[in-house]
Amino acid sequence: MAATGVRLDLDGRPIKPMTICMIGAGGFIGSHLCEKVLFETPHKILALDVYNDKIKHLLEPETQTWADRIQFHRINIKHDSRLEGLIKMADLTINLAAICTPADYNTRPLDTIYSNFIDALPVVKYCSENNKRLIHFSTCEVYGKTIGSFLPKDSPLRQDPSYYVLNENTSPCIFGSIEKQRWSYACAKQLIERLIYAEGAENGLEFTIVRPFNWIGPRMDFIPGIDGPSEGVPRVLACFSNNLLRRQPLKLVDGGQSQRTFVYIKDAIEAVLLMIENSARANGHIFNVGNPHNEVTVQQLAEMMTEVYSKVSGEPPLESPTIDVSSKEFYGEGYDDSDKRIPDMTIINRQLGWNPKTSLWDLLESTLTYQHRTYAEAVKQAISKPVAN
Ligand SMILES: NC(=O)c1ccc[n+]([C@@H]2O[C@H](COP(=O)([O-])OP(=O)(O)OC[C@H]3O[C@@H](n4cnc5c(N)ncnc54)[C@H](O)[C@@H]3O)[C@@H](O)[C@H]2O)c1
Ligand SMILES: O=c1ccn([C@@H]2O[C@H](COP(=O)(O)OP(=O)(O)O[C@H]3OC[C@@H](O)[C@H](O)[C@H]3O)[C@@H](O)[C@H]2O)c(=O)[nH]1
């Protein structure tokens, strides 16, 4: 399965095998990126994380051809002196480590800011001091709210894409007030982007910044009470999957009118591999990575997931498949929301020729098939257990 023969970059040059220090390799995106690198390239991975459950299948079968190309290091980057040595051993560092679930931003703002800014500082510093290339994962949340959201509801300008399409070089970053602690994450991510950019400008750091727009697919987050805490609130795909598995109505926060564009994880990982293997085209750039054609309101997402889940599980949908809930009740004080997120794809198209392929329906069908196969039985057993009194 590993790549054989000479692989060429977008300019026809042979790609040299490299060692990648992947921080946060045990997470959702990291697990898919590890698979891609091991199955399709000759590169080696130093996989750093505090957990490895999502990449166990890549670590355990020592007989597999890729086994000598991945090494797991259980490291918390907050306090581990091995970090610099591992970055030095690699040609490229990819930093995915972060607290990145909205339920944490307003309830654990200090952890969120430390994780997304302070803990990322040594990574940037070691890359810069040792002349190592860095691909850093930021977020589409750095754009915050759209300019259009401040226009009167009936303004015709709301239909004009220049008021809502998000471009890396021209769109402003618009956050709410400080008491809206939702923005602690976006603000920390924005400051680390600025720091990386400044390291590039002043000290010549070779960097690429990725702004993911709602990447979704198998292994995203956890199902509360099954492979994560019962009271935990994951991102929307896992929240809705959990509701569907338990035959509970899907909760629409503040009516579910916010809009998102969703991209299939496997499409998005293709873009990351292009960045890894085309450094001359990717260095110094910030890239939106999303699917502008897959836009829905959260309410439409809930309706589509209900329909797809019914198809893949063979169970009829509930009579009332959704229920409204206030953001205060669901997330607590200090929650706020991005109204609409459509990525401008000009830069990634020009530099890397990348385009997403998978429709929302198709990506939900494969993802919910995975959720059903992985969790339906465990959920059934959990529900049937007698409750202790
Ligand atoms: N999934 C998306 O759609 C999306 C959207 C925007 C931004 N991002 C960004 O992409 C990155 C990866 O996101 P994900 O969806 O895979 O999240 P994830 O939570 O699944 O993965 C993050 C991983 O980092 C690890 N980690 C966190 N702190 C660490 C520490 N101190 N030391 C070692 N490991 C640590 C976690 O254990 C986890 O495995 C994050 O930076 C996130 O902000 C993701
Ligand atoms: O059960 C739920 C969960 C979520 N939602 C809503 O669904 C929308 C999407 O919520 P998600 O939890 O997926 O998170 P968001 O899209 O708001 O932010 C995400 O975007 C990019 C990344 O940086 C992070 O992964 C995360 O911050 C929000 O409007 C949220 O309020 C519901 O209506 N019901």
Residue 227, class by beta-carbon neighbours within 10 Å (0-12 exposed, 13-18 middle, 19+ buried)? Answer: middle
Q: If the chain, 389 residues long, is cut into consecutive pieces of 10 residues, what is the mean pLDDT of each piece?
A: 76 98 98 97 98 95 84 96 98 98 98 98 98 98 98 96 97 97 98 98 98 98 97 97 98 98 98 98 98 98 98 96 98 97 98 98 98 98 77
Which structural domain, as residue segments, surrounds residue 375? 98-380
CA 154 – CA 173 distance, rounded (Å): 24
Q: Which ligand is nearest to the CA of 244?
A: 2
> Ligand 1: which residue has its CA nearest to atom 44?
212
> Ligand 2: which residue has its CA nearest to atom 30?
253
Q: Does residue 127 form part of some domain?
A: yes
Q: What is the pLDDT of residue 168?
A: 98
Residue with tokens 């009829």: 316
What is the number of domains present in the chain?
Answer: 1
CB proximity list for 82: less than 8 A, separation 6 or greater: 73, 75
- Residues forming the active site: 185
Q: Does residue 5 form part of some domain?
A: no
Q: Does residue 114 form part of some domain?
A: yes
Task: Report how far ligand 2's centroid is from the alpha carbon of 296 (Å).
Answer: 13
Mapped onto helix, strand or coil, the DSSP state of residue 356 is: coil
Q: What is the pLDDT of residue 388?
A: 58
- Total number of residues shown for the chain: 389
CA 18 to chain centre: 24
Q: Does residue 43 form part of some domain?
A: no
What's the longest Cα–Cα distance across the chain?
68
Q: Does residue 172 form part of some domain?
A: yes
Please report the ipTM that was assigned to this predicted complex. Answer: 0.99
Residue 254, class by beta-carbon neighbours within 10 Å (0-12 exposed, 13-18 middle, 19+ buried)? Answer: middle
Q: What is the pLDDT of residue 67?
A: 86
Nearest to 244 by CA among 314, 331, 332, 330: 314
Q: What is the pLDDT of residue 75?
A: 97
Q: What is the DSSP string of 181-240?
A: GGGHHHHHHHHHHHHHHHHHHHH---EEEEEE--EE-TT-S--BTTTB-TT----HHHHH
Q: Does residue 340 form part of some domain?
A: yes
Q: Which ligand is nearest to the CA of 137?
A: 1
CATH number at residue 218: 3.40.50.720
Q: What is the pLDDT of residue 60?
A: 87
Q: What is the pLDDT of residue 94?
A: 99
Task: Report how far ligand 1's centroid is from the alpha carbon of 34 (Å).
Answer: 14
Q: Does residue 78 form part of some domain?
A: no
Nearest to 262 by CA among 240, 224, 289, 222: 289
Residues near ligand 1 (Cβ within 6 A): 24, 26-30, 49-51, 75-78, 96-98, 100, 115, 119, 137, 139-140, 212, 214-215
Q: Does residue 307 form part of some domain?
A: yes
CA 15 – CA 278 distance, rounded (Å): 8
